[in-house]
Amino acid sequence: MPNEEKILQLIAKAEQEHTLKKEELTCLLASSQAEEPLAAAADHVRQKFVGDGVHLRGLIEFSNICRQDCMYCGLRRDNQRLERYRLGADEIVGLAEKAKGDGYHTVVLQSGEDMYFTAERLAGIIRRIKALDLAVTLSVGERSFDEYRLWREAGADRYLLRIETTDREVYEKFDPGMSYDNRVRCLRDLRTLGYEVGTGTLVGLPGQTPVSIAEDILFYQKLDADMVGIGPLIPNPDTPLGSAPKGDFHLTRRMVSLLRLLLPEANIPATTAMETMVPHGRELILASGANVVMPNVTEGDSRRKYALYPGKICVADTPAQCRRCMGGRIKAMGRFIAEDKGFRKHRRDLSI
Ligand code: 5AD
Ligand code: FES
């Protein structure tokens, strides 16, 4: 069978059945020819299952202090070149209030693994934000079941924790001192506690292959992930991976499209890293299967200091500018900003 025909057949199968075998996924991930037809099929499936609404999540980066030492991340504890900051409870709640005033329905509280924020302390902040009638997503790394439980009881709705890669060896090499099993334990605990669970891949870790990325996608399907956020590695010169090659934008785009085909009702963001790499990258990704954007609603100097990687977009803008800018861009694509809290839809509730 000619290659092109085989590719189109596989894509048609994924579009109809939402399943592919590991070898089939690998073949599509590795094929640049597959990219445009994959994006077109994913855009169609996105429209059919989750519609034209784009969900905005306001990202509050409340501390860049981290106890971990991931080899790619600017927040790693050994990076002495980063000016550290931590926002107070009132500042965090104030940013959430402003986000609400700017029309956001969800805030994402993200930080390094900063143990100053004990379970109790963060629970207090969550309760105050929930009183504003916002959905609350947490993204603060690995904690115990009991800590996750307290936050859930305080009202947290969702939790983001990327697995980064399902290749255990690659994971443990670039996340030294961390265990792959504990990461999976965290995702299971979050699931058990009834959070909407978001996870995802860092594309471009040295040693990662199309086969391991195919395995990531199957892992997300098995976990029944509610959200999957992926982005390419952007080497940070202040980290040990500073001179690694950057992640492949096109491979990442094909992965987004395949995620939409295999997890049709999931929430899939067009991530900031995609746009840092390619101007208007987020629009391209929104047209390739994605339905979520997470504009930064942190204010002032903290925006610059939350430096996971260099060249991060919008660090000089205000939250209101970002919101206007993204709103205009979404409308120009013929899409609209969704006005609900954007919980994950389930196929059983859709008339498909
Ligand atoms: N390039 C791209 N993404 C990165 N992250 C951390 N460092 C980098 C980098 N250098 C991603 C990780 C993490 C998320 C919050 O940011 O995947 O889970
Ligand atoms: Fe921040 Fe456009 S999204 S300025």
145-176 tens-digit pLDDT = 999 999 999 999 999 999 999 999 999 999 99
176: number of Cβ within 10 Å = 12
Enumerate residues 6+ apart whose C-beta is below 8 A from 162.
Answer: 199, 200, 201, 202, 229
pLDDT of residue 318: 87
Nearest CA owner, ligand 1 atom 14: 162
Categorize the per-residue pLDDT at 217 as very low, low, confident or very high, splitting at 50, 70 and 90.
very high
Nearest CA owner, ligand 2 atom 3: 322
- Using a 10 angstrom Cβ sphere, with 0-12 exposed, 13-18 middle and 19 or more buried, the burial of residue 248 is middle
**For 271-303, how does the pLDDT look when each residue is reduced to its tens digit (9 = 90+)?**
999 999 999 999 999 999 999 999 999 999 999
pLDDT over threshold 90, residue 320: no
Domain spans of the chain? 23-336
201 lines ligand 1 (CB under 6 A): no
Q: What is the mean pLDDT of the chain?
A: 96
Q: Which atom of ligand 2 is nearest to the CA of 314?
A: 1
The pTM of the whole model exceeds 0.75 = yes
Cα separation, 292 vs 55, in Å, equals 5
Q: Which atom of ligand 2 is nearest to the CA of 293?
A: 3
Enumerate residues 6+ apart whose C-beta is below 8 A from 276.
Answer: 234, 309, 311, 312, 313
pLDDT over threshold 90, residue 349: no
pLDDT of residue 35: 98
314 lines ligand 2 (CB under 6 A): yes
Q: Which atom of ligand 1 is nearest to the CA of 201?
A: 17
User: What strand order describes the sheet that includes 292-293?
Assistant: 292-293, 53-56, 336-337
Categorize the per-residue pLDDT at 33 as very low, low, confident or very high, splitting at 50, 70 and 90.
very high
Could you tell me the distance, in angstroms and rounded to a whole number, from the CA of residue 88 to the centre of ligand 2?
25
Q: Which atom of ligand 2 is nearest to the CA of 325?
A: 2
233 lines ligand 1 (CB under 6 A): yes
Please tell me whether residue 59 adopts helix, strand or coil conformation.
strand
Strand-pairing partners, residue 292, are: 55, 269
160 lines ligand 1 (CB under 6 A): no
Strand-pairing partners, residue 203, are: 232
Categorize the per-residue pLDDT at 3 as very low, low, confident or very high, splitting at 50, 70 and 90.
confident
321 lines ligand 2 (CB under 6 A): yes
pLDDT over threshold 60, residue 69: yes
Q: Which atom of ligand 2 is nearest to the CA of 323?
A: 3
Could you tell me the distance, in angstroms and rounded to a whole number, from the CA of residue 289 to the centre of ligand 2?
20
- 43, 52, 58, 49: which is closest to 341 by C-alpha? 58
- Contact between residue 257 and residue 249 where contact means Cβ atoms under 8 Å apart: no
pLDDT over threshold 90, residue 201: yes
| Class of CATH domain 23-336 | alpha beta
Average pLDDT over residues 52-68: 97
